[in-house]
Structure 1
Amino acid sequence: MRTLTRFSLVLAMALGAPVPSHAISGNEQVELAGSGRYEELRLALEQDAARGPLKTRDLHALCFAYSRTKRYAKLFECLDKMAANLARGDLRTRLFGLDDATPVLHLMRGEAQLELGNFAAAAEEAKKALAWFKEEGGDDADIELEGLALLSMASTLGGQRAEGEKYARQLEEVSTFTLRGNGYVSVKAMALARAHMALGNYQKTLDAIASDRLFSVHAFLDRLVSGAVVTGKNNWTWQELPRAFMTNRALRGIGQTGQAKAGYDQLLAIPQVRDNGEIYWIILFERGLIAEGEGRSDEAADFYKKAIEVIEQQRATIHTEASKIGFVGDKQRVYERLVDVLYARQRSADAFEYIERAKSRALVDMLASKQVASLQAGAAADAAREFDEAEAELTAQVPVSAQEGKQGQRAAAARAAGRLRSAAPELGSLVTVSSLPLAELRALLPADEALVQYYYQGQLLYATVYAGGEVRMLRLEAAGLDEDIRRFRELVDQMDPQAATLARKLYDSLLRPLEGPLAKSQRLLIVPHGALHYLPFSALHDGRKYLLERYALRALPSASVLKYLRKGKPGIARQMLVLGNPDLGDPKLDLPSAQVEAEKIAQRAGQARLLMRQHASESALKADGVRYPALHIASHGIFNARRPLDSHLLLARDGDNDGKLTVSELYGLRLDADLVTLSACETGLGQINTGDDVVGLTRGFLYAGASNVVASLWQVDDEATSQLMIRFYEALASHPKAEALRLAQLDVMKKYPHPYFWSAFYLTGSGQ
């Protein structure tokens, strides 16, 4: 049965069948799956599922369709149903003729987790499939081969290279001989190629591909170029393209650049390749690297720009071909290489725009991987509807097969994204890449304020200064910068006098080269990047003064945020919601000075609502926060480096909320606050993502509608913070917010000279 089913699956690749309006038969499922018509298979089986629960034989086919179309949410839901069927004894599957679908369940889960970047979870699923194989025995060698390949790739990509090597060796030892013949040669060849590609063992990748005598990359490419292979709606392109890419990538890896270049150019000449966006952008990037290595910088820039266009059409940074090619492309590296090329060509304005696009892409990726369901909560009905439509359209833009209509799909997605940006620009910025051209900055920046944007690439650091209508981009030395920032933070936290030495060194590295362009400015807007998000710029020292003594400072996660900020209102809002020292159920977490601080601030405001202890709850903030132009929250903040959207403020819990106001929840909250002050611990910290955009509570409050957020970078001294906050609100009566914070910090500096006491706090937002 197994052999016949697989033979039918291969035979069906040349066939086509209309989507039936009745229950889809087994033969029709095999035909649709074999010809790569996964969308038709999905639609037909969803119709059947609407009539009642599917048996495993049909449910497996539906899960398979979800897997191939990269609908991960539906895939995991489908696999859960399939697991329930298996637990009830409904074991048989149709597509691969298995008497027990258990290993296929684990392999599909594992492949999806690999493509989502959850490498540990992928490894666990692979181990479950292999455990089934060991226990059940039999001659289903493909289960062992696919399981070991998945386990090797997941280990390697998850940072466990030694484990990846171990499983690759085990894979090499698997025999492909069975009683039915030597039928698993191709499966083993591809499994080995994927494992060695992940390991970067390029010669072994080529050797593995060459071991499959049924396949010839060059013959395949010739057939593609001539059109002989692409007939009807078959799926050969999608089965063989990964192997062709791996061959060329491995050739470049062993130094055969000329052959790789010719191979990539052949692939780029094939129209069907453009429909596989996940491999297409990598090929474009690879060609750009080759062109750059040949000294053809303009040609390289063109390839990089085309790759970025493909990347930005995709909803999320899902490595949708990782399980097929054993290769995870770093999309942020495309932006980095393009910025390098543009800088070398003295095209600062273009480089600035792509830096902004890189940061926007990073935010889109992070939110998409989390799948924040509440992003549209609180938005206008039209905007929420456009958000839903754009989400659906953009999520569908993944390689599924060589079917017709791809251009129409992409056009529909572009239209949906455009409607979303018009209906709710801030929502659009979270699901599509957006940037702020330099030409728009003049109207958004005060005349006496300079923008300093950093872009950090390991050993290289770019600083772009926009001041007085002019832009200047400099490349700074960044060797050891991460360690200097870490050590500086450590010395500041220990109140060590040696912090002064590093404060001067960091100033010399980051700001002294910019003193010329900054000479006429009185205020600085700093857009950090990478580890610079952890640096208290106010505490940097030029040998005579701290930076705080020379400038009023504010920060933004990216310059593009300027487009969405409401202009702040001068003065202190008399109507204020103040939450202080919430009852967290643990006396060790009490903040007595924060309670005194909250009482004094509320008293000075005049019309404040003061909530203390058990009344300072998450529920109260969610219910009443929208009614107040100013919020002051004196509590603890918890930073979660591994899951930044789970970073949270600790408030009192009740029957409706758990007391943890997370970043995820903030993206679904609507505020009308001119100022949010987070007088707490670590509220300004966030996860440093590849490409950046620290996603902390500050970004969450800005998106929720706050014009300005004052937060802290480390655990602050309770008494000094109380003094700083009281002075800050006094200064607000007659100064803009950035200047008021500066005056408060200078006041605290007189009593507590060490930066530990005053430099933790910073303002993000309009500064007004």
Structure 2
Amino acid sequence: MQNNLQKDRAAELLRSGRFDEARAAADALLAAGQASPAAARSIVSSRLALAGACLNLARFEDARHYAQGAFVLTDTHFADTDATKFAALEILQDACIAMGRLTEAHDAGERALAIAIAAHGQDSVAAARATQRLGAVLARVGDVSAARVAFIRAKDALMRATTADRADVDDTLATTLANLASTYQRPDEIELAQAIHDQALRLRRRLSGDEHVEIAQLHSNLGLLLSEAGQDDAALRSCERSLALRRRLLPQGHPDVARSLMEVGWMRTRLGNTDGATDALLEALLLLSALDMPTVEARAHFLLGSLLAESNAPAAAILFEKLCVNGLQRLRHASASHEHAFLGARQDIYRHLAESLIRSGRLPEALQVISMLKEFELDDVTNGVLRPVTLVRLTPFEQAQADMEAAVRREMRDTLKHTTHLTPAESEGVTAGGAAVLKSWFARLRADFAETDSATAAATTQVTSRRASVPQDDLAAGSIQLQYLLAQDGVEIIVSTAGGQRHYHNAFVPGEVHRLVLALRASIAQRSASWRGHAVALHELLIGPIEAELDDNKTDRLTISLDGVLRYLPLGVLHDGRRHLLERFALTVSAGGHGPGRITEPAPIRRAAGFGVTRALANHRALRGVRDELFAIVGTADNAHGVVDGGIFLDTAFTADALRSALKRRDGIVHIASHFVFRPARENESYLLLGDGTKLTLAQLAELRFDGVDLLTLSACETAVGGGHRQSGSEFEGLGALALNRGAAHVIATLWPIRDFTSAALMREFYRLRFREDFAVADALRQAQLQLLTGRSARGAAGAPRGLLDPDDDDASTNRPAREAHPYYWAPYVLMR
């Protein structure tokens, strides 16, 4: 009896908008259920009813809270086949999706699917329903291919269903078809997507009529499809129909209304309706003030920035793009795997902001954003092993405007929280008043920024100069820093010297650099002579625009930050028609992602720890040349030929503990010759193979500190893969950047599988120059490479190629020094810093 009274009281408090009191009453019910298993089913039913009511009121945190409590009771007292447990997981999943807690939504979906299969079988309607809901989470995090597979599986099961409850089957089928249509996004898939969408719309109308929230979602989906097909007018009409339906059917302040407003605002922006777009986007931002939905809020800021950019207000646009990026950075710091995957698809926003800053001549700010993009990419390929916390710096003027926006929205949030007791008309009046305040602020902001835009437009030229904001130690050493950013229509180059920074833009046909880089790599891999034409063309695109400045500065060192497919490029191979870039400069790649954890160390101990795998392990082939390579580098009591004294750990001696001990001793040189497997964004499937057969994953590597390491050499056959059209090169920089982030001063990695006999010779000479002749790291590597290029390298013991069969290995008639002058042999080594 007492439980029934508490249940009724919780429901009454919820209906009257007294949410905190309702939660307390419901929690008392949960405690009673835990103490009295006999009351559990009744209490679960009550909490699920409360969770459903909160979903309808867009109180997603409360819905999640009630659903979690219900699930705790079902998990304790009910069998896994119990339908109530399935229902609790579905509501929990809906609440988590709405809040952007995608990891929890995915986990709830997987558990629900397991329960459905256990209770009803793999091909049941319940399993199909759980599968399509799991597909919706996968689509939200950006794994469109996996989502499509899930939707097709669910559709096929539903089409085969013979259950008497056909309405329930068709309801799930309509949702599944709508979701499936949204996964076909390429231009050549639009026709198929529209056909599936039309099928879903007919089915939904037959089931529910035109006044249904699912119809609104279908109009929204259709609008996005039409937009992809370039039919912007029709797309806008469809999005406006969705917005009108959602306004009628959903409670005031529901996030789906905000999403519709954002879609309408974006379509109006594309069609040049600035005032209409402004109204829609500001109303969306207003509604989001009362909701904890940072991903949607970041999107709203980005769309407002796009609107301002289209309206020729670049300075104001940059503020909103910065607010968007900072919102994403905060999310990345707090997110877990599936939220992380969702955010990983947002890298273009960082790139867009960097390009906007470059176009405005704000080069130091652009460099900071590019550095954050590197940080973002490192976090992405390691699946959040490292949590970036850097925020884009706002200028004082931008900060003042951001503070004003925050104050307006904070006031509106407090007001909107108390609209539950108002009539719909009164609530709409409050929202309209808030929208007017926000619109007034936005108009003042545009006016305040107009003067900044005018000054920028007057000052901007094709080549701009600004004071340098780069590490002085690098500049003092005579190094020029080059920052490359691939844009849609060309490449942006920022040159930083002790005298300042200059920006260059070199336009080219989209995809040209990608094609040339892959063609160069292919020709080098085939040991053909056709590499030279590609190397000359790439030199013209990437070095040609800054040739005069390089000559004027009379430096022989370049520190280069690369972007996208350029990270697969062997920079030293670039050729001006007379000589390679390596013949002019010592080259260092700035891998970025150093992060706040990196600290400056005193001079390291000049001791080497050499680790290697020679035998076949875990489906990896034997590396027969590793022994010779390590013995050429590391001197021991039994090996007088090594360049640097230390210890060698081969095969079973190469363990995780041995590696940790070397790092703990602060050995200044760590050389690892083994297999490394990289699976971007799948840190548990990316690993370094140890000599005892175990695998050190990225997550485990991220726990190590390399603070005492002056030089980490990754002589591993799979340090880099890549070159595919969908790869960005971030996975190549990933391992090196991870070690730099954890304290290493320099990292050497390889762009492709290397030949054992040339590796041993090159590495012996490199270590001799670095640690006996006291060359700088970049200079030592350059000289060792030049010796191969010119045929002056000392010969090491011949061995099998590491990771790649070389057809020349058994050709005794071939002139080996002449062969080694080919870039295949000397060009793959990359120094990262």
TM range (shorter): 0.7 to 0.9
* 2:484 corresponding residue in structure 1: 454
Q: Does the 8 A contact of 2:748 with 2:830 survive in 1?
A: yes
Change (3 A) 1:186 1:632: closer
Structure 2 residue aligned with 1:593, among 619, 622, 625?
A: 625
Q: Report how far residue 250 of structure 1 moved.
A: 3.2
Change (3 A) 1:406 1:748: farther
**Superposition CA RMSD, Å:** 4.2
Q: Compare CA radii of gyration and give the structure with the larger one.
A: 2
Change (3 A) 1:550 1:568: farther
Give, in whole Å, the separation in 1 of the partners of 2:384 and 2:234. 38
Change (3 A) 1:442 1:361: same
* 1:748 corresponding residue in structure 2: 788
Task: Name the amino acid aligned to 1:28.
Answer: L
Alignment of 1:668 with 2:675, yes or no, is no
Give, in whole Å, the separation in 1 of the partners of 2:827 and 2:184. 42
Task: Name the amino acid aligned to 1:573.
Answer: R
SS in 2 for 1:525: strand
* Structure 1 unaligned blocks of 5 or more: 1-8, 92-98, 221-228, 377-401, 408-436
Q: Report how far residue 760 of structure 1 moved.
A: 0.7
Could you list the per-position Cα deviations for residues 358-397 of structure 1 after superposition, in whole angstroms to 9, with x for gaps in the alignment?
3333334454xx354xx59xxxxxxxxxxxxxxxxxxxxx
Structure 1 residue aligned with 2:183, among 154, 177, 196?
A: 154
Q: Report how far residue 673 of structure 1 moved.
A: 2.4
Alignment of 1:576 with 2:609, yes or no, is yes
Q: Report how far residue 184 of structure 1 moved.
A: 6.0
Give, in whole Å, the separation in 2 of the partners of 1:297 and 1:691. 30
Give, in whole Å, the separation in 1 of the partners of 2:578 and 2:191. 52
* 1:31 corresponding residue in structure 2: 53
Task: Name the amino acid aligned to 2:607.
Answer: R
SS in 2 for 1:486: helix
Give, in whole Å, the separation in 1 of the partners of 2:790 and 2:330. 53
Alignment of 1:191 with 2:218, yes or no, is yes
* 1:174 corresponding residue in structure 2: 203
Q: Does the 8 A contact of 1:683 with 1:696 survive in 2?
A: no
* 1:425 corresponding residue in structure 2: none
* 1:679 corresponding residue in structure 2: 715
Give, in whole Å, the separation in 1 of the partners of 2:318 and 2:154. 44
Task: Name the amino acid aligned to 1:241.
Answer: A
Give, in whole Å, the separation in 2 of the partners of 1:320 and 1:194. 26
SS in 2 for 1:725: helix
Could you list the per-position Cα deviations for residues 213-249 of structure 1 after superposition, in whole angstroms to 9, with x for gaps in the alignment?
97376x99xxxxxxxx9xxxx6633232222222333
Change (3 A) 1:146 1:663: same
Q: Report how far residue 441 of structure 1 moved.
A: 2.1
Give, in whole Å, the separation in 2 of the partners of 1:329 and 1:406. 32
Q: Report how far residue 641 of structure 1 moved.
A: 6.1
* 1:41 corresponding residue in structure 2: 63
Note the 1:647-726 alignment, pairs <5 A: 647-654=686-693, 657=694, 660-671=695-706, 672-685=708-721, 695-726=733-764
Percent pairwise identity: 23
Alignment of 1:109 with 2:157, yes or no, is no
Q: Report how far residue 481 of structure 1 moved.
A: 1.0
Q: Does the 8 A contact of 1:278 with 1:321 survive in 2?
A: no
Give, in whole Å, the separation in 1 of the partners of 2:188 and 2:703. 34
* 1:491 corresponding residue in structure 2: 523
Change (3 A) 1:663 1:87: closer
Q: Does the 8 A contact of 2:381 with 2:683 survive in 1?
A: no
* 1:347 corresponding residue in structure 2: 362
Give, in whole Å, the separation in 1 of the partners of 2:206 and 2:749. 64
Change (3 A) 1:274 1:457: farther
Note the 1:47-62 alignment, pairs <5 A: 47-50=69-72, 52-53=76-77, 55-56=84-85, 57-62=87-92
Q: Report how far residue 567 of structure 1 moved.
A: 5.3
SS in 1 for 2:765: helix
Change (3 A) 1:22 1:319: closer
Could you list the per-position Cα deviations for residues 603-661 of structure 1 after superposition, in whole angstroms to 9, with x for gaps in the alignment?
3256432233444456644565544332222234445468587444444344xx2xx44
Q: Does the 8 A contact of 1:644 with 1:686 survive in 2?
A: no
Give, in whole Å, the separation in 2 of the partners of 1:237 and 1:442. 52
Q: Report how far residue 746 of structure 1 moved.
A: 1.4
Give, in whole Å, the separation in 1 of the partners of 2:668 and 2:645. 11
* 1:281 corresponding residue in structure 2: 298
**TM, length-normalised to structure 2:** 0.71
Give, in whole Å, the separation in 2 of the partners of 1:405 and 1:360. 38
Change (3 A) 1:129 1:496: closer
Give, in whole Å, the separation in 1 of the partners of 2:320 and 2:376. 18
Task: Name the amino acid aligned to 1:304.
Answer: E
Structure 2 residue aligned with 1:473, among 497, 503, 506?
A: 503
Structure 2 residue aligned with 1:307, among 324, 337, 340?
A: 324
Change (3 A) 1:445 1:160: farther
Q: Report how far residue 719 of structure 1 moved.
A: 1.6
Give, in whole Å, the separation in 1 of the partners of 2:319 and 2:729. 21
Higher RCO (CA 8 Å, separation ≥ 6 residues): 1
Q: Does the 8 A contact of 1:456 with 1:530 survive in 2?
A: yes
Q: Does the 8 A contact of 1:583 with 1:613 survive in 2?
A: no
SS in 2 for 1:495: coil
Q: Does the 8 A contact of 1:577 with 1:625 survive in 2?
A: no
SS in 2 for 1:748: helix
Q: Does the 8 A contact of 2:258 with 2:285 survive in 1?
A: no
Shifted more, 120-129 versus 263-272: the winner is 263-272
* 1:630 corresponding residue in structure 2: 669
SS in 2 for 1:176: helix
Change (3 A) 1:40 1:638: closer
* Structure 2 unaligned blocks of 5 or more: 1-10, 31-42, 79-83, 388-411, 418-466, 636-641, 792-819
Give, in whole Å, the separation in 2 of the partners of 1:15 and 1:90. 39
Change (3 A) 1:353 1:163: same
Aligned length: 668
* 1:69 corresponding residue in structure 2: 99
Shifted more, 531-540 versus 257-266: the winner is 257-266
Task: Name the amino acid aligned to 1:715.
Answer: P
Give, in whole Å, the separation in 2 of the partners of 1:724 and 1:287. 54
Change (3 A) 1:736 1:158: farther
Could you list the per-position Cα deviations for residues 686-736 of structure 1 after superposition, in whole angstroms to 9, with x for gaps in the alignment?
697679685532123223432221111112222211110111111122222
Q: Does the 8 A contact of 2:102 with 2:338 survive in 1?
A: no
Shifted more, 709-718 versus 443-452: the winner is 443-452
SS in 1 for 2:109: helix
Q: Does the 8 A contact of 1:13 with 1:36 survive in 2?
A: no
Task: Name the amino acid aligned to 2:360.
Answer: R
**TM, length-normalised to structure 1:** 0.76
* 1:564 corresponding residue in structure 2: 598
Give, in whole Å, the separation in 1 of the partners of 2:827 and 2:16. 68
Alignment of 1:124 with 2:114, yes or no, is no
Could you list the per-position Cα deviations for residues 99-124 of structure 1 after superposition, in whole angstroms to 9, with x for gaps in the alignment?
97545533431221111111122223
Note the 1:42-441 alignment, pairs <5 A: 42-50=64-72, 52-53=76-77, 55-56=84-85, 57-89=87-119, 102-134=127-159, 135=161, 136=163, 138-140=166-168, 141-156=170-185, 161=190, 163-178=192-207, 182=209, 185-198=212-225, 200=228, 202-209=232-239, 215=245, 236-253=253-270, 256=273, 258-268=275-285, 272=289, 276-315=293-332, 331-367=346-382, 370-372=383-385, 439=469, 441=471
SS in 1 for 2:254: helix
* 1:528 corresponding residue in structure 2: 562
Alignment of 1:730 with 2:737, yes or no, is no
Q: Does the 8 A contact of 1:352 with 1:438 survive in 2?
A: no
Change (3 A) 1:273 1:483: farther
Shifted more, 32-41 versus 743-752: the winner is 32-41
Note the 1:608-627 alignment, pairs <5 A: 608-617=646-655, 620-621=658-659, 624-627=662-665
Change (3 A) 1:597 1:664: same
